[in-house]
Amino acid sequence: TTSGAMGSKTIVFVIGGPGSGKGTQCERIVKKYGFTHFSSGDLLRAEVASGSSRGEELKAMMGRGDLVPLETILKLIKDNIASQPDSKGFLIDGYPREVQQGIEFEKVVGSCTFVLWVDVSQDTMVKRLLKRGETSGRVDDNEETIRKRLKTFVDSTEPVIKYYEEQNKVKRVDSERDVETVFADVEKIFDNLQ
Ligand code: B4P
């Protein structure tokens, strides 16, 4: 079933905890399958980098490990999707992070084809983020914020997985393993789409 402005285009929501490997897998998917990739975190960091006063507020929220307001992130994603009318499909990475974000997106943009759930233990997430924090310069890759991001994931984003599981739309990959091994499982999912 399709709805909204997108007709029958493939829309994949990529969901996983902080440091689960979503961004990493999305890069590979784009290279192999040619989807258009939007990372909600990258879009927000670009907004922060623009130096607007709005950006300053967003930076503070992200630095606390909080979710930014639904309207802000939905508008960024919607505008970016609208700018790529010829794309064959979209990977929406890091969105929805709360059930309401999913509901609003499907109302105004289009229905999600499936959810790719990049699943990994909390211990592994913390380890990967601390390692990245040594070089990333990200305001949120420090121990205190990482703990808060994990809590936000459990409280707000795990219900998203449940919401789409009830619609039989979730495809899970075990991201505990190295990047190539995880991607081999991702390939099985995307090969079956063609
Ligand atoms: P994001 O930018 O989405 O941050 P993230 O969860 O850390 O994911 P990222 O894609 O960067 O990292 P990945 O797991 O691939 O969000 C940042 C903040 O923005 C949020 O906290 C929130 O404040 C805000 N935000 C974003 N979306 C929002 C929304 N929809 N609504 C409201 N607010 C929103 O990789 C992590 C590390 O692990 C990397 O260093 C990578 O090299 C490594 N790694 C990955 N896979 C690995 C593997 N298999 N083995 C070993 N290492 C691996």
pLDDT in tens, 111-147: 999 999 999 999 999 999 999 999 999 999 999 999 9
Q: What is the rounded CA–CA span in Å between residue 23 and residue 136?
A: 14
| Whether the model pTM is above 0.80 | yes
Assembly ipTM: 0.87
pLDDT in tens, 146-181: 999 999 999 999 999 999 999 999 999 999 999 999
The finding on whether 89 has its CB within 6 A of some atom of ligand 1 is no
- pLDDT, residue 31, reads 96
| Residue 140 Ramachandran class (φ > 0 left, ψ -120 to 50 alpha, else beta) | alpha
- pLDDT, residue 5, reads 57
The finding on whether 18 has its CB within 6 A of some atom of ligand 1 is yes
The finding on whether 44 has its CB within 6 A of some atom of ligand 1 is yes
Mutate to test the pocket of ligand 1, among 43, 44, 57 (most ligand atoms within 8 A of CB): 44
- pLDDT, residue 193, reads 86
Report how far apart, in Å, the C-alpha atoms of 107 and of each of 3, 93, 125 are: 8, 18, 32
